[in-house]
Structure 1
Amino acid sequence: MTLLPKNPSRLIREDDRDSAVERLREAYAEGHLTHEELDGRLGRALTARTRRELGAALASLPEERAGTTSTIATAAGRIRRRGAWRVPRSLKVASAFGRVYLDLSRAVIEYPVVDIELRLGTGRAKITVPRDAIVDVEDLRTGWKDTLYKTRRRSRPGGPKIRISGIMGFGRLKIRHARR
């Protein structure tokens, strides 16, 4: 039988460990850690029992960004986000002329609800959402073509809710769920 330390507040919970692992993965995706550093730190995080041990695995990482609203804008051209990018709580996307492609299938989504506000003049937009996401497009106004989106028949509970709002002039929004 293993004896636990007398001060239980120093012990970590499973969600503390999960948060630390996610933070390490984000730091790696942002280029703050090499592959070897990630392996070593993940090993320390997964075997940590106390907050001090877990803190050692996270030492020297940059501070987490607290911003919950971001804006991506361009007059003309392409807006593209894919891979392991951090999705803010509220994302504003503005483009006068051009294409927008947001792939949330592998993105880091830390919030149960994400608001995406589109302000698009001319051009197409495509948004790929996680497989278990719930999508709400009721507050999106389109001027020329309807939004292409079919609600999933079977979605697992617990996925993020993606609320898409805003205005699209001459273009079409296509939304699809990731296959994996």
Structure 2
Amino acid sequence: MKKLFYINIGLLFAACGPLITTSNYNDLPDGWKERVVPLTTFEEVKMNQITKINGNQLREELKKHPKAIVHTLANGCSSNLSLEEYEQFAVKNGYKLFIVMLGYEYTFLTYNQKRESPLYSIDTDYYTQKRRSVYGKNFLNDLLGRGINEKIEYEADYVFEYGQLMPGAGSKLKFES
């Protein structure tokens, strides 16, 4: 009985944790795959699309912004803040906000939130990997300007100033109103 209980708890967290093994792109419902497009330029990103990016592209874009937050999220996972609250915080404190989805499960829950910022997703084709643990690590290592195989500590939020990571700053953000 205990074993069954632990399996059920594991399944409960699978949607938000490392047990999801792929991007779930192939599981998108009809009409949703067309919304996922590759990046041409950041100036051409549209709100009704989900733009695929790699860490190098985003790192270059971050160099143009005095202050930026890269918020990574797994769709459908509980958070203390809505995307609207993240945006309000970013505007109030002078940050440019980049919202990057780790995969496509429950995309509609993120896509349909009230927001002013476009949505990005990790370009798994660029990383030639379908395993989330691998392409996620590779994306973050590229974003942070590290070697592709370096071990990384995941955070939900990464803070940059003109493309320079402010180590530990993401976990110190104060989101109170």
TM-score bucket (shorter structure): under 0.3
How high is the TM-score relative to the length of structure 2? 0.26
Greater helix fraction, Structure 1 or Structure 2: 2
Greater strand fraction, Structure 1 or Structure 2: 1
How high is the TM-score relative to the length of structure 1? 0.26
Bigger relative contact order, structure 1 or 2 (CA pairs below 8 A, ≥6 apart): 2
Larger Rg computed on CA atoms: 1
